[in-house]
Structure 1
Amino acid sequence: MQIKKRFYAAFLVVLLTASSLLIFICLNILSNHQDNPLVPIPDDAGWVLRLDAESFVKTEVYNTLFTEKDDAFITKVRELINRNLNSDSDKKSLRIDPQEDIVLYSIERDHKTYLLIAVQTRDAEAFNNNIPAYCKANQAGKALGHCGVFIQQIKGKKDRAALEKVLADILNQPFRELEKAASEKNEFIALNVKKLPAKSGFSSMNLSIQHQDKSINLEGEITYPKNLHANLKFGLKSEGVYIYSRFIPEALPDTLLNFLPEGLPHFKDIEAYAVDFKGTYLEDPKDSLPSIIGFLPTPVMDLIIQSKHACKVEDLWQAFPESVRRPNLTLNFGNTIFHLKQLSATTYFIGVNPDAVIPYSGNDVFFIKGHLEKSTKIYGSTFVTAFIENMGPVKAFNDFLKSSESIDIEIKPKKGNLYKIKGKINFKKDKHPLHEMTKMISGMPFFEQ
């Protein structure tokens, strides 16, 4: 009996290994995908994103079958499959080829915004017959040849007739060939944005996102039409995520500086800044300062700002509520104490460690370096922080950041207003970038529906 059990167990191991190898070989050798996808894309498309599904699937299948021992993730995938594929449904297959590229882009017509998704189908007739079952009132789809196009109106007054007319117009457009990067780069996302939001400060961008065994690499170009101001004369000793920038988006006061008082010259005409971010402390609410779910989210950071006009750090200190002001230009939020320091007539420091300020003589334009894991830290009430950190989307995103080892991204001048993007996110020894991305995406709200 023992011999029979051992033989059966050994047979199962061999069978599973052989099956896994067969699946992987089929993905690598028997693929019949086209090198460059052909997709109908109009000239007025605001942005175009191409996902190399085959590169992603092959690497992720290999990780799942041969390198990862992630029972929780496998259980998660099984639940998703059971919920979305094995439930009672009248929907029939669209015959989408999972190894072909997926292309997304956006267009605007008559003050309406549309999102389009182009896929490759193995049966255009089946796609056209079955796509209506997948569409809501603001959605439609149709295949022409091997290309199936799904359209959704995301902004503007809903108009079914206009939606179908736009789809028909798209399918009448010339099919454009999207060129892939060299195979050794393992590019799995290519993004081209013709017009970025005005508040970003940038006008256009091309970005290639590539995967290697232990890193995600970024390459690209971005256009910044404004002239750059002088570089900072001060820097920071970094302990968290360190960002240095002479690119100043209009939205900066709404993001990095949203917890600081408004209406001061300190935050107008900013020329450059450096910030070392080390997490967030959930402090008790303080007078007129903004609170969320009953707490004042206070960044644990060191910040240097250089402004076009002279500004006094004493005026910034005076702008905070009296309940948090302390002697020697300090601000006491309870557990977080900020120190304010005048560095020059136009430059000041506000942060938790005034000794972090160091001289700086570089001519960098933009970089982000450090350990992303440190930025995920939330300090405060154990119960509240645990609740926030374990919320589905927050946990999924934080787990991804915690799986990374370091980040190093730079933007340097190339020609005129064109700048070069080069960077890398390194992952920990036992982590695989695409697998961590898959886990993060599977934890997002749209997969829970």
Structure 2
Amino acid sequence: MQIKKRIYAAFLVVLLTASSLLIFICINLLSNNHSNPFVPIPKDSRWVVRMDAESFVKTEIYHTLFTEKDDAFIQQVRDLIERASNSNSDKKPLFIDFQEDIVLYNIERNNKGFLVIAVQTLNGPAFSRNIADYCRINQTGGAKDRCGIYVHQVKGEKASTSELKTVLNDVLNAPFRELHKAVPEKNEFIAVNWKNTPGESGFSAADVSIQYQNSEINLEGTLTYPKKPAPALRFGLNPKGVYIYSRLQVGSLPDTLLQFFPKDLPHFTDIEAYAVDLNGTALEDSKDSLPNFYGYLPVPVMNLVVQTKSDCKVEELWKAFPASARRENLRLSFGEISFQLKQLAPNCYFIGVDPKAVVPYSGNDIFFVKGKLEKATQIYGGTFVTAIIENSGPVKAINDFLKSTRSIRIDLKPGKGNQYVVNGNIQFREKRQPLHELSKMVFGLGVFEL
């Protein structure tokens, strides 16, 4: 009897091993496609993103089946496929070749912005005939040779059907451009090329490669910044969350940090350098003219050091806030969260929750981001609204992704001329696979919902 059990157990082990190997071999039967994609791209396109779909899909299938064994995610994908097959059975196939790269870029026509997605199709005429089944009123598509094009309006007044067709024809008749892929060893799955970026960003070009390893996502590339960086800050911070240091003159701090601050003050319109340590957002009771979010005031839990081009007095910033928020000794109170303001130099000041976090700084960094990403989206408040926000689909998907990471580090170093070298990585927690976590976030955001 014991012998039979042992034979049966051994047979199961052999069967499972053979099945796993068979599936793995099937996944890899189609060797990695290392050919460079050729895509029609108008010359005025400002940015181009290339995604190695085959590498992403193969790696994700392997991790889902053998490493993660994520039944919930598999069920989510299965439900999506069932909904698509049950409710859209009349849609004819596009014959997209997922062994080839997917390319995205933008164009503008008559003050209207369009997102273009280019794929390779095994049947160009069928793609052109059937793409209308997948398009909404602000979308169109067609194919030229083996390249399928999908156009989606993302900005401006609604384009007419004839305008959409004109844009599509403009794309299909644009010169084909070869996009060069990185060597296979780098595991590059996204490449970003950006030129003529909007004025506020300060950058005139970017060429960045995003790669993956077992437990991290890596970034490398170059940025072109024609302006001279601002003088280095003489003060920094002891960080606890996501720490950003920048001498790049970008016009303003991100709107997410400044949305509740008084407008048109030189303290925020004349910024040349800053250091900020972000530890989430608190929902406080609304105050006078400050922004309202479902009856609450979103207050960033942060420490911030700002250096301005001209001298500025921190007392003027304090006086610009509503009287209901001002307290003595240059303090601001928003409920549970209080900010202390402090003049550090004639053109440098501090505003934040912990003035003890300010430290002398003598480094010559241009730009860096480092810390724990999950801190950035943490919400404080203990209210019903807080629970709703944290458990809403998109926010939960992003938070779950950030919680799967351990740390982020991105550096910008001087290169040749006005170019700067970008290097960085996002480290993931033990037993967390980067591409699988990305896939879960994308599905959680509802990108593929029909």
Are residues 163 and 5 of structure 1, via their aligned partners in 2, closer, same or farther at CA, if it must alter by over 3 Å? farther
Verify: 1:25 aligned to 2:25, yes or no. Answer: yes
Question: Does the Cα contact within 8 Å between 1:52 and 1:101 map onto a contact in 2?
Answer: yes
Q: Give matches, 1:279-290, under 5 Å.
A: 279-290=280-291
Offset, 1:122: 1.6
Offset, 1:72: 1.8
Are residues 168 and 325 of structure 1, via their aligned partners in 2, closer, same or farther at CA, if it must alter by over 3 Å? closer
- Corresponding residue for 1:415? 416
Are residues 169 and 377 of structure 1, via their aligned partners in 2, closer, same or farther at CA, if it must alter by over 3 Å? closer
Offset, 1:181: 0.7
- Corresponding residue for 2:150? 150
Verify: 1:380 aligned to 2:381, yes or no. Answer: yes
- Corresponding residue for 1:293? 294
SS in 2 for 1:256: helix
Question: Does the Cα contact within 8 Å between 1:46 and 1:106 map onto a contact in 2?
Answer: yes
Q: Give matches, 1:247-326, under 5 Å.
A: 247-252=248-253, 254-326=255-327
Offset, 1:272: 0.7
Verify: 1:127 aligned to 2:130, yes or no. Answer: no
Verify: 1:45 aligned to 2:27, yes or no. Answer: no
- Corresponding residue for 2:203? 202
Question: Does the Cα contact within 8 Å between 1:253 and 1:267 map onto a contact in 2?
Answer: no
Question: Does the Cα contact within 8 Å between 2:251 and 2:269 map onto a contact in 1?
Answer: no
Offset, 1:241: 0.5
Question: Does the Cα contact within 8 Å between 1:243 and 1:274 map onto a contact in 2?
Answer: yes
Question: Does the Cα contact within 8 Å between 1:24 and 1:58 map onto a contact in 2?
Answer: no
**More off after superposition, 351-360 vs 438-447:** 438-447
- Corresponding residue for 2:238? 237
Offset, 1:7: 9.2
Q: How many residues align?
A: 449
Question: Does the Cα contact within 8 Å between 1:190 and 1:207 map onto a contact in 2?
Answer: yes
Question: Does the Cα contact within 8 Å between 2:285 and 2:335 map onto a contact in 1?
Answer: yes
- Corresponding residue for 1:68? 68
Offset, 1:331: 1.4
Specify the code of the residue in structure 1 equivalent to 2:106. Answer: S
TM-score, normalized by length of structure 2?
0.93
Q: Give matches, 1:316-395, under 5 Å.
A: 316-395=317-396
Offset, 1:153: 3.4
Q: d(CA) in 2 for partners of 1:9 and 1:294? A: 62
Q: d(CA) in 1 for partners of 2:255 and 2:77? A: 37
Verify: 1:403 aligned to 2:404, yes or no. Answer: yes
Are residues 153 and 315 of structure 1, via their aligned partners in 2, closer, same or farther at CA, if it must alter by over 3 Å? closer
Offset, 1:8: 9.1
SS in 2 for 1:388: helix
SS in 1 for 2:100: coil
Q: d(CA) in 1 for partners of 2:405 and 2:446? A: 22
Q: d(CA) in 2 for partners of 1:279 and 1:365? A: 24
- Corresponding residue for 1:446? 447
Offset, 1:282: 0.8
**More off after superposition, 20-29 vs 377-386:** 20-29
Runs (5+) with no aligned partner, structure 2: none
% identical equivalent positions: 63
Q: d(CA) in 2 for partners of 1:329 and 1:172? A: 62
Question: Does the Cα contact within 8 Å between 2:45 and 2:107 map onto a contact in 1?
Answer: yes
Question: Does the Cα contact within 8 Å between 1:34 and 1:100 map onto a contact in 2?
Answer: no
- Corresponding residue for 1:425? 426
Are residues 388 and 5 of structure 1, via their aligned partners in 2, closer, same or farther at CA, if it must alter by over 3 Å? farther
Q: d(CA) in 2 for partners of 1:32 and 1:183? A: 8
Question: Does the Cα contact within 8 Å between 1:57 and 1:99 map onto a contact in 2?
Answer: no
Offset, 1:18: 4.1
SS in 2 for 1:165: helix
Offset, 1:441: 0.3
Q: d(CA) in 1 for partners of 2:10 and 2:382? A: 51
Offset, 1:200: 1.9
Are residues 164 and 6 of structure 1, via their aligned partners in 2, closer, same or farther at CA, if it must alter by over 3 Å? farther
Runs (5+) with no aligned partner, structure 1: none
Q: d(CA) in 2 for partners of 1:3 and 1:91? A: 55
- Corresponding residue for 2:141? 141
Question: Does the Cα contact within 8 Å between 1:24 and 1:61 map onto a contact in 2?
Answer: no
Specify the code of the residue in structure 1 equivalent to 2:443. Answer: S
Q: d(CA) in 1 for partners of 2:17 and 2:79? A: 23
**More off after superposition, 100-109 vs 52-61:** 100-109
Question: Does the Cα contact within 8 Å between 1:223 and 1:419 map onto a contact in 2?
Answer: yes
Offset, 1:386: 1.6
Question: Does the Cα contact within 8 Å between 1:232 and 1:273 map onto a contact in 2?
Answer: yes
Specify the code of the residue in structure 1 equivalent to 2:21. Answer: L
Question: Does the Cα contact within 8 Å between 2:218 and 2:426 map onto a contact in 1?
Answer: yes
SS in 1 for 2:432: coil
Are residues 102 and 215 of structure 1, via their aligned partners in 2, closer, same or farther at CA, if it must alter by over 3 Å? same
Q: d(CA) in 2 for partners of 1:77 and 1:10? A: 33
SS in 1 for 2:79: helix
Deviations 1:46-83 (A, max 9, x none): 21111100110111111101110322212211111111
Q: d(CA) in 2 for partners of 1:360 and 1:34? A: 46
Q: Give matches, 1:47-126, under 5 Å.
A: 47-126=47-126
Q: d(CA) in 2 for partners of 1:12 and 1:82? A: 31
Question: Does the Cα contact within 8 Å between 1:342 and 1:348 map onto a contact in 2?
Answer: yes
Deviations 1:73-102 (A, max 9, x none): 122111111112343521111111122111
Deviations 1:129-181 (A, max 9, x none): 32222223433322233221222333445232343233334333332221101
Are residues 380 and 111 of structure 1, via their aligned partners in 2, closer, same or farther at CA, if it must alter by over 3 Å? closer
Offset, 1:368: 0.5
Q: d(CA) in 2 for partners of 1:13 and 1:442? A: 34
SS in 2 for 1:286: coil
Specify the code of the residue in structure 1 equivalent to 2:379. Answer: I
Offset, 1:432: 0.6
SS in 1 for 2:133: helix
Offset, 1:17: 5.2
Are residues 81 and 7 of structure 1, via their aligned partners in 2, closer, same or farther at CA, if it must alter by over 3 Å? farther
SS in 2 for 1:81: helix
Q: d(CA) in 2 for partners of 1:297 and 1:23? A: 50
SS in 2 for 1:406: strand
Are residues 29 and 377 of structure 1, via their aligned partners in 2, closer, same or farther at CA, if it must alter by over 3 Å? same
